[in-house]
């Protein structure tokens, strides 16, 4: 039998992390227990000394959590994964494990809003320095490196601007300066982008999004490439306590089985929705890595296995028309988050990226009129019809529910 790591991702998604269970169960059982009974006092002592393998307490290790973690490690091509209570708990764990007072972080200026405020508001308090920069140009990254830069942190495509960065080039720059490249791969999932193959040192995800894919769990994960790195991260996570629980692990592991089919369908749908929007007279611009109009279309083709489910656009009528669009749709849900089976639409300047402040949004080119769409797995003609109908109503305020925002 080939190792699960040698199979393509469709097969990995279904079988990784699944073992043999009591009664011949084909799905890992949910061990919904906080603690594990020792056989006798010596057994407990041996477990605590690390002389014998076994479970002690669920914050440290749990079989249901481990089943999910080993699946994610396989999918991302890492040695180990660490399940976290949320994507932000994963971001927090990574910075806690890698940074000390006086260290410097180079962070892409187009990242998840709370990641920005975590770095400035929390890590800033403890003497960590951070620069938010345009990472779409590797030259810019090289220019902004400092002797104390320990971490280069990027999301590609960026949120919500869908600006890309060249992971291979940036990994090279980071390594020449003895810094580590951390990639938040949430927007792509391992189906569409393989950061370890391009030189990244640590990968993290908000599993709330594509990995779980059903908008019913908040969870995160950190994926590492070595046993030593794993031990460091596990110790920190155990001390911080931001671990995932068994039931959410079960749900994520269940969701992951359809990751490949979901993401492929989302890609196909998003491509058609992006083309529709690009051809619509009320749309001023569309940013989608699958369109030739994307300024980094060539990089997208080289680095990603598909353009993804996320689309950014702006209406000719600016944010007033954008509000009418968001209030006029009925299949698209007006909600933040992304990557689930249902299509969503939201307004970053007043929602996901409101906490960043206007100046920082302007630097990151998050305009007030930008509307972000996450395309789901519904029938694509229904999705396009929903948008067409809502766009027809734009500019006629009587039909909109403007007061809702």
Ligand X SMILES: *Cc1c(COP(=O)(O)O)cnc(C)c1O
Q: Which residues are catalytic?
A: 59, 112, 184, 209
CA distance 307 to 188: 8
C-beta closer to ligand X: residue 33 or 117: 117
3-state secondary structure the chain: CCCHHHCCHHHHHHHCCCCCCHHHCCCCCCCCCCECCCCCHHHHHHHHHCCCCCCCECCCCCHHHHHHHHHHHHHHCCCEEEEECCHHHHHHHHHHHHCCCCCEEEEECCCCHHHHHHHHHHHHHHCCEEEEECCCCHHHHHHHCCCCEEEEEEECCCCCCCCCCCHHHHHHHHHHCCCEEEEECCCCHHHHCCHHHHCCCEEEEECCCCCCCCCCCCCEEEEECCHHHHHHHHHHHHHHCCECCHHHHHHHHHHHCCHHHHHHHHHHHHHHHHHHHHCCCCEEEEECCCCCCCCCHHHHHHHCCCCCCEEEEEECCHHHHHHHHHHHCCCCEECCCCCCCCCEEECCCCCCCHHHCHHHHHHCCCCCCEEEEECCCCCHHHHHHHHHHHHHCCCCHHHCCHHHC
C-beta closer to ligand X: residue 155 or 386: 155
Interacting residue with ligand X among 145, 218, 223, 256 (CB under 6 A): 218
Interacting residue with ligand X among 135, 159, 296, 303 (CB under 6 A): 159
- Rounded to a whole number of angstroms, the minimum distance from the CB of residue 126 to ligand X is 21
Interacting residue with ligand X among 63, 160, 195, 220 (CB under 6 A): 220
- Rounded to a whole number of angstroms, the minimum distance from the CB of residue 176 to ligand X is 27
C-beta closer to ligand X: residue 135 or 400: 135
Q: Please, which residues have CB within 8 angstroms of residue 61's CB and are 6 or more apart in sequence?
A: 55
Q: Please, which residues have CB within 8 angstroms of residue 44's CB and are 6 or more apart in sequence?
A: 38, 56
Single out the segment in contact with ligand X by CB under 6 A; choices: 136-144, 206-214, 221-229, 308-316: 206-214
Q: Which residues in 52-71 contact ligand X (CB under 6 A)? A: none
CA distance 357 to 343: 27
Interacting residue with ligand X among 62, 108, 136, 186 (CB under 6 A): 186
C-beta closer to ligand X: residue 89 or 377: 89
Q: Closest Cα partner for 211 from 238, 246, 248?
A: 248
Number of residues that bind ligand X (CB under 6 A): 14
- Rounded to a whole number of angstroms, the minimum distance from the CB of residue 110 to ligand X is 10
Window 87-106: contact mask with ligand X (x via CB under 6 A): xx------------------
Single out the segment in contact with ligand X by CB under 6 A; choices: 69-77, 84-92, 321-329, 374-382: 84-92
- Rounded to a whole number of angstroms, the minimum distance from the CB of residue 153 to ligand X is 11
Question: Could you tell me the CA-to-CA distances from 229 to 152, 243, 255 in Å, in that order?
Answer: 17, 17, 27
Q: Which residues in 109-128 contact ligand X (CB under 6 A)? A: 112
86 belongs to the binding site for ligand X (CB under 6 A):
yes
266 belongs to the binding site for ligand X (CB under 6 A):
no
- Rounded to a whole number of angstroms, the minimum distance from the CB of residue 179 to ligand X is 20
Single out the segment in contact with ligand X by CB under 6 A; choices: 49-57, 61-69, 83-91, 233-241: 83-91
Interacting residue with ligand X among 109, 184, 260, 314 (CB under 6 A): 184
- Rounded to a whole number of angstroms, the minimum distance from the CB of residue 339 to ligand X is 8
- Rounded to a whole number of angstroms, the minimum distance from the CB of residue 209 to ligand X is 5
206 belongs to the binding site for ligand X (CB under 6 A):
yes
Interacting residue with ligand X among 80, 92, 194, 209 (CB under 6 A): 209
Q: Which residues in 274-303 contact ligand X (CB under 6 A)? A: none
> Which residue of the chain is nearest ligand X when measured via CB?
87
C-beta closer to ligand X: residue 207 or 299: 207
- Binding residues for ligand X (CB under 6 A): 86-88, 112, 155, 159, 184, 186-187, 206, 208-209, 218, 220
């Amino acid at each position: 039998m080939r190792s699960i790591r040698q199979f393509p991702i469709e097969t990995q998604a279904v079988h990784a992390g699944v073992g043999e269970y009591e009664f011949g169960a084909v799905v890992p059982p949910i061990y919904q227990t906080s603690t594990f009974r020792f056989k006798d006092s010596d057994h407990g002592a041996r477990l605590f000394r690390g002389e014998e393998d076994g479970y002690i307490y669920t914050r440290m290790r749990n079989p249901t959590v481990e089943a999910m973690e080993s699946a994610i490690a396989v999918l991302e091509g890492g040695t180990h994964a660490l399940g976290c209570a949320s994507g932000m708990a994963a971001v927090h764990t990574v910075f806690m494990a890698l940074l000390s007072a006086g260290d410097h972080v180079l962070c892409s200026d187009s990242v998840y809003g709370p990641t920005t405020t975590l770095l400035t508001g929390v890590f800033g308090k403890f003497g960590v320095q951070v620069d938010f920069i345009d990472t779409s140009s590797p030259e810019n990254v090289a220019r902004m490196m400092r002797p104390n830069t320990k971490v280069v942190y990027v999301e590609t495509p960026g949120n919500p601007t869908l600006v890309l960065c060249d992971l291979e080039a940036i990994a090279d720059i980071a390594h020449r300066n003895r810094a580590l490249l951390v990639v938040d791969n949430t927007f792509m999932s391992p189906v569409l982008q393989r950061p370890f193959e391009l030189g990244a040192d640590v990968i993290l995800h908000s599993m709330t999004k594509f990995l779980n894919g059903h908008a019913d769990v908040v969870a995160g994960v950190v994926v590492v490439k070595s046993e030593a790195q794993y031990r460091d991260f596990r110790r920190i996570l155990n001390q911080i306590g931001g671990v995932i629980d068994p039931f959410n692990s079960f749900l994520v592991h269940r969701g992951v089985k359809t990751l490949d089919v979901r993401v492929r369908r989302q890609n196909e749908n998003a491509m058609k929705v992006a083309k529709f929007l690009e051809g619509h007279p009320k749309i001023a611009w569309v940013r989608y890595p699958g369109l030739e109009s994307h300024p980094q279309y060539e990089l997208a083709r080289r680095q990603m296995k598909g353009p993804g489910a996320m689309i950014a656009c702006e209406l000719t009528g600016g944010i007033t028309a954008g509000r009418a669009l968001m209030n006029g749709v009925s299949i698209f849900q007006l909600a933040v988050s992304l990557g689930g089976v249902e299509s969503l639409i939201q307004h970053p300047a007043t929602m996901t990226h409101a906490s960043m402040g206007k100046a920082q949004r302007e630097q990151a080119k998050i305009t007030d009129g930008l509307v972000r769409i996450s395309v789901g797995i519904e029938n694509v003609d229904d999705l396009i019809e929903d948008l067409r109908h809502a766009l027809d109503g734009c500019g006629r305020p009587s039909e909109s529910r403007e007061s809702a925002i």
